[in-house]
Amino acid sequence: MRILVLGAALGLNACKLPPGSVAVPRLALAGQPEQAPDSAPDLGFGAQPGTSDHDTARFLAGLPGSGGGAALASARRTDAWQSHARQMDRAFSAAEGRLSAIRSWRRDALPNTGGTLFYPFSGPDLLFADAFFPRARGVILCGLEPVGAVPDLSRVSDGALPGALASLRRSIATPLAASYFITEDMRGDLGAGEFKGVTPVLYTFLARTGHRVLAADPVALSPSGQVVPRPGPATGTAPGVRIHAASGATGHRTIYYFRTDLSDSSLRGDRRFLAFVQSQNPSATFVKSASYLMHSGGFTEVRKAVQTAAPLLVQDPTGVPYQTLAAGGWDVALHGNYHTTLDLFRSYYQPDLAAAYRKGRARPMEFGVGYEWSAADSSLIVAKRRPGEAVAAR
């Protein structure tokens, strides 16, 4: 079973998931208001002098490198880092089958979308954002997980290094195995040890997807939704990080992560994050593993934003309800199979979506994604806004 293989590959106890299941205990995806506190320690930004951000990213990802000076070279020779590198190689190799299938599907199913990708409820899931949208020159991620900082590897003692690397591996184990993050697990993994927050995870995914990490800077949003420098701790409304990277697919790429609450109680009082998203004029929106939050009455503002942000929407059934998309303004294509939901989300089963699949017009999909992570049970909805036709966002 893929989850157990990846758990073993990362030196974990089956990713904390019981055999034969993909449990989502007390699942809280990025965006649930009851999660993390509003502040987290700011650790300072930027790699230590003499070590580039790219050197740091490759070290975290368990990849070889010649930069970073004697201290980093010495750390790479430790048993802890050598073991980390082997476990990361095995884990990403095991995940490559799913990622390769996504890339193959995407070439036929999705337009060659550049521009900016908006990915609400994402947490630090840059890995699947890149697999589905490799040519997006801008990526907007958000969640409740703390921003953290680029770790200063020179301050990590030999005694602390094994635990720090193990914590990083734990934080990415479930998304590699099952394609989604479990917020409750991330809060522990990203809040303890030397590598705090989502920034080290983003650096790891960037290095493992062939990017060259150029720089990162702490940012925040002004009341009008403009990106401004964040000189102090990661507190207040929508603290974030902006990462500059380069890849062969996009050239220069800018990745934003903002710590923000997407519930109505938050967005109706402060719309700076939605104003920022609108200002970036996204070309595509991507939603998966979103806990069916937009099916409830407490996330209507972000549901409207998802419907109006971009002309292309790619989502699993946890995104905007199918009946809303089918009501008008969208050309909807179904992919994969839709049979049921996890028991945890049984009340969000969509009979109209199941009926649409039974008509036999769905296109095949040779991979699993989201909570129903096996290929036999997984589904995606690709919706394209009809030119000249207004979408009645609800």
In the block, tokens 């939050």 appear at 293
Name the token pair of 173.
Answer: 């184990």
DSSP assignment of 278-292? HHT--SEEEE-S-TT
Query: 299-335 burial by CB neighbour count: b if 16+ within 10 A, else e?
Result: bbbbbbbbbbbbbbbbbbbbbbbbebbeeebbeeebb
Domain membership of residue 390 (yes or no) is no
Instruction: Calculate ∠ Cα 386-271-139, nearest 5°.
Output: 60
Full-model pTM: 0.87
Q: What is the C-alpha separation between 280 and 220, in angstroms, rounded?
A: 15
Residue 118 lies in domain: 2-385
Q: What is the C-alpha separation between 65 and 55, in angstroms, rounded?
A: 7
Helix axes 79-109, 69-76, angle to 10 degrees: 90
DSSP assignment of 15-37? GG--TT----TT---TT-TTSS-
Domain count, the chain: 1
Domain membership of residue 244 (yes or no) is yes
Name the token pair of 67.
Answer: 């930069």
Q: What is the C-alpha separation between 165 and 394, in angstroms, rounded?
A: 44
Q: What is the C-alpha separation between 81 and 59, in angstroms, rounded?
A: 8
Domain membership of residue 393 (yes or no) is no
Domain membership of residue 207 (yes or no) is yes
Domain membership of residue 391 (yes or no) is no
DSSP assignment of 320-363? S-HHHHHTSSEEEEEEE------GGGGGG--HHHHHHHHTT-PB
* 23: nearest Cα among 172, 182, 176, 169: 182
Domain membership of residue 128 (yes or no) is yes
Q: Tens of pLDDT along the chain (394 residues)?
A: 333 334 444 544 333 333 333 333 323 333 333 333 333 333 345 555 567 899 999 999 999 987 777 788 889 999 999 999 999 999 999 999 999 999 999 999 998 888 999 999 999 999 999 999 999 999 999 999 999 999 988 888 889 999 999 999 998 888 787 656 565 555 555 656 688 899 999 999 999 999 999 999 999 999 999 999 987 665 666 899 999 999 887 899 999 999 999 999 999 999 999 999 999 999 999 999 999 999 999 999 999 999 999 999 999 999 999 999 998 789 999 999 998 898 999 999 999 999 999 998 899 999 999 888 788 999 999 999 998 776 666 7
